[in-house]
């Protein structure tokens, strides 16, 4: 199943810089691993914001919830999710 996931990160201003650096490093490693597995299919930065728009390709809602809630930055995110389905006019074979 494909899902569009929008994530906006809201880091507390009083978070120690070294703690933030550790969280960001863990987030990058986790996100890149999911991309290599094909579960995090696309990842785009929203210009001018600490936010992204992503496409996840997972088995079901439960798997998506598990992956997202395991993000190191999850406690600091506002997240919206929308399920996607193939458009009948699409010329792509890999968008289902």
Q: Which fold has domain 2-84?
A: Alpha-Beta Plaits (3.30.70)
pLDDT average, residue stretch 6-34: 98
Give residue 96's pLDDT band: very low, low, confident or very high (50, 70, 90): low
Main-chain phi, psi angles of 27, to 5 degrees:
-60, -45
Class of residue 38 by CB neighbours under 10 A (exposed 0-12, middle 13-18, buried 19+): exposed
| pTM of model > 0.85 | yes
Tokens of 6: 């929008």
Percentage of the chain exceeding pLDDT 90:
89
Q: Which two tokens stand for residue 54?
A: 């992503």
Confidence of residue 93 (pLDDT cuts 50, 70, 90): confident
Q: Calculate ∠ Cα 35-82-84, nearest 5°.
A: 75
pLDDT at 6 over 70: yes
**Domain ranges (residues) in the chain:** 2-84
Tell which residue, 74, 80, 96, has the closest CA to residue 9: 74
């Amino acid at each position: 199943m494909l899902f569009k996931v929008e994530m906006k990160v809201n880091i507390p201003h009083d978070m120690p810089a070294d703690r933030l650096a550790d969280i960001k490093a863990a987030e990058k490693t986790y996100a890149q691993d999911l991309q290599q597995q094909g579960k995090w299919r696309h990842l785009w930065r929203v210009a001018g914001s600490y936010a992204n728009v992503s496409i996840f390709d997972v088995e079901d809602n439960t798997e998506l919830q598990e992956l997202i809630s395991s993000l190191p930055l999850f406690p600091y995110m506002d997240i919206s999710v929308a399920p996607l389905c193939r458009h009948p006019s699409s010329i792509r074979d890999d968008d289902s």
